[in-house]
Amino acid sequence: MDVKYPNVCVRLSGIDGNAFNVIGKVAAALRQSVDGATASQFSADAYNCGSYDEVLRLAMSTVTVE
């Protein structure tokens, strides 16, 4: 799977696994490492996902997930 921002790493193991927390962690990492517009677009795309699994797939295709 190609990762859009492979240099942005987000640790998701060991955190509260709800979708909102995943979205927040990834968006914060994008905001810090890339820019606010990218973080906002990721959040909008994630909120349009139909399931938790879709959110995880989006996160894993956007950043490096540990």
The whole-number pLDDT of residue 59 equals 97
Read off the pTM.
0.92
Residue 54: other Cβ atoms inside 10 A? 14
Give me the residue spans of the domains in the chain: 5-65
The whole-number pLDDT of residue 5 equals 97
The whole-number pLDDT of residue 57 equals 96
Distance separating alpha carbons of residues 59 and 12, to the nearest angstrom: 10
The tens digit of pLDDT for each residue in 25-62 reads 999 999 999 999 999 999 999 999 999 999 999 999 99
The whole-number pLDDT of residue 17 equals 74
